[in-house]
Amino acid sequence: MSDPFSTVATELPRDRWGRPLITPPEGGEPVAYQRVTTFVGALEDTYHLGEWGKRTVALGMSKRPDLIALAASITDPKDPSQKKTLNSIAKSAMEAAAGSAAANKGTALHSLTETIDEGREPAYVPEEFIADLEAYRQVRERFDFIDSEGFCVRDDLRVGGSYDRLFTLRDTSTPLIAPDGEQVVGGVWDLKSGGSEGSLFGIGKIAMQLGTYRNSKKYDHTLGSRTDLPGEDFMSRTWGIVCHLPAGTGRASLLWVDIASGWEAAYEIAPRVHAWRKRKDLSQPLASAEVSPRNVGIPEQIAAATSYADLQAIHAANRIVWTAGLTSAAAARKRELEAAS
C-alpha cells in the first residue's frame, strides 16, 4: 500500500481554464477563484490592445499566403468548426508577424531579473539584454526584495494571483518620498517589460492588480492556509512601484503607482461590473414571428441578376462550388442583360 504522505504537491492546482483552486477559509473542497488579472481586466481599456492585434494579424497574413488561401476556404464563419479554424489562422498570423516574440523576450528578461534579485549572476545573458540588465541593476540599487512570486488570495472577492516582488529599502533611514509626501520604506513592486521607451499601457489595470495584491493574504496551497504578507507592518497601502524595463532599449524607469485608488476600483467597481455582465433579466419577450427562409439556389440568383456586377458578386460568393454549367448560365444571363441595354 502506498504511503499517502510520501509526496507533497508543489504546484498550485488549477482547473481546466487555468483558474486557481483554493481551499476556502472554513475548509472543505477547493473552489475556483478568478485570477486577479482577469478580475480587474473587466475595467481595462482594451482599445489600443485590440488595434495592435488587428494590425499584427493583417501583417502576419501578408507574410503567409497559405493562411490567406485557408481563410478564403471558409464558407460559414459562424459554424463552430470553421470558427475554430479561423481562430487558429489568426493565431498563426500573429506568430508569423512575430506577435509572440515580444512576449517571449519579456518572459526571458523577467527571468534574468529574478536571477539578479536572488543575488546570483545569470549563467548567460543574450547580447540584446546586456544593457537592459545594467540599467535594471542601477535603478534597483536602493532596494532589497523580501519576497518574490508569492501567491495571495482575497477571499471576499474570490480572487488570487502572484505578485512580482515585495520590496524594502536597504537604508530605511532615508525613505522614499511619495507624490503625496508619504515616507515609503516598503511595498509592492512590479516589473513590466512590454511597451517601448516612455510608453507603458494599462497603468489602470496595473494599479488595480497591485492594490489587490497589497490587500490580500499570502496563501499556502499545501496547507490551505493564509498568512499576512511579508512586511505587512511597514508596506505602503497607498503607493506601489513599477519598474518599466522595455526589452532591448537599455533603459529602466521606476514609476509610482497609486495602488490605493487601484484597490478602490477593484473592490468597489469591478464586482459590480462582473455582476452586471452576468444579469439575464435585462430583456423580456414581447412578440415573435418565424418564417422559413427561402433557399435561393445559384441558378436562380444568376437568373435574377440585374447587372454584370451582380453576376461577378454571385461568382465571388460561390467560387468554391462554382461549376462549368454555372459559368454557361452566367454567360447567357450576361448576353441577355447586354441585349436589353
Delimit the domains of the chain by residue range. Answer: 101-276, 298-340
Say if residue 200's pLDDT is above 70. Answer: yes
Report residue 199's pLDDT band, with 50, 70 and 90 as the boundaries: low
pLDDT of 7: 45
Say if residue 229's pLDDT is above 50. Answer: yes
Per the CB < 8 A criterion, the answer to whether 71 and 61 are in contact is: yes
Q: ∠ CA(156), CA(278), CA(155), 5° rounding?
A: 10
pLDDT of 340: 87
C-alpha to C-alpha distance for 297 and 80, rounded to whole angstroms = 24
Say if residue 1's pLDDT is above 50. Answer: no
Question: Considering the chain, what is the average pLDDT of its residues?
Answer: 90
Provide the grid cell at 64.
Answer: 503567409
pLDDT over 70, % of the chain? 94
| Burial class of residue 36, CB neighbours in 10 A (0-12, 13-18, 19+) | buried
pLDDT of 4: 42
pLDDT of 46: 82
pLDDT tens sequence across 248-303: 899 999 999 999 999 999 999 999 999 999 999 999 999 999 877 677 889 999 99
pLDDT tens sequence across 58-95: 998 998 999 999 999 888 888 889 899 999 999 999 88
In the predicted model, what is the mean pLDDT of residues 139-154?
A: 95
pLDDT tens sequence across 178-189: 999 999 999 999
* DSSP symbols for 238-271: SEEEEEE--TTS---EEEEEEHHHHHHIIIIIHH
* 106 vs 305 pLDDT, higher one: 305
pLDDT of 308: 92
Domain 101-276 has CATH 3.90.320: yes
pLDDT over 90, % of the chain? 69
Report residue 202's pLDDT band, with 50, 70 and 90 as the boundaries: confident
pLDDT of 197: 60
pLDDT of 6: 45
Eight-state DSSP code of residue 288: -
Per the CB < 8 A criterion, the answer to whether 229 and 218 are in contact is: yes
Report residue 105's pLDDT band, with 50, 70 and 90 as the boundaries: confident
The CA-atom distances, in angstroms, between 288 and each of 92, 152, 198, 284, 293 are: 42, 50, 55, 12, 15
